[in-house]
């Protein structure tokens, strides 16, 4: 919804230079992490002025992917839901 509002504003009052900055924690904050990540990837493809900054939860996921700890912080706080959003049971 926010992206639609920003796009509408830019159509109404074009700016010569703008950025949309996303402030991390895209994963393990609900049941649809994959959809959030896919949305951000597509937004970046549409326009490189969409900037995504990793939050500590996103870094935790990357660390888990590099060195999986089944009982680590990521898996105990949202990692299961994140995996399920990607179809992993």
Average pLDDT over residues 3-26: 93
Of 3, 22, 57, 67, catalytic: 57
Q: How far apart are the first and last CA of the chain?
A: 30
Is the per-residue pLDDT at 20 higher than 90?
A: yes
**Whole-prediction pTM:** 0.82
Q: Known catalytic residue: 3?
A: no
State the SS3 of the chain: CHHHHHHHHHHHCCCCCCCEEEECCCCCCCCCHHHHHHHHHHHHHHCCCEEEECCHHHHHHHHHHHCCCCCCHHHHHHHHHHHHHCCCC
Which pLDDT score is estimated for 78? 87
* 31-83 pLDDT, tens digit each: 899 999 999 999 999 999 999 999 998 998 999 889 988 888 888 888 889 98
CA-atom Rg of the chain in angstroms: 16
């Amino acid at each position: 919804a926010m992206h639609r509002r920003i796009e509408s504003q830019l159509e109404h009052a074009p700016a010569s230079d703008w950025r949309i900055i996303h402030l991390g924690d895209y994963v393990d904050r609900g049941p649809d992490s994959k959809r959030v990540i896919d949305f951000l990837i597509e937004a970046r493809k549409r326009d490189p002025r969409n900037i995504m900054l990793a939050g500590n939860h996103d870094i935790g996921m990357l660390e888990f992917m590099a060195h999986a700890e089944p009982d680590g912080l990521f898996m105990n706080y949202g990692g299961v839901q994140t995996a399920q959003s990607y179809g992993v049971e």
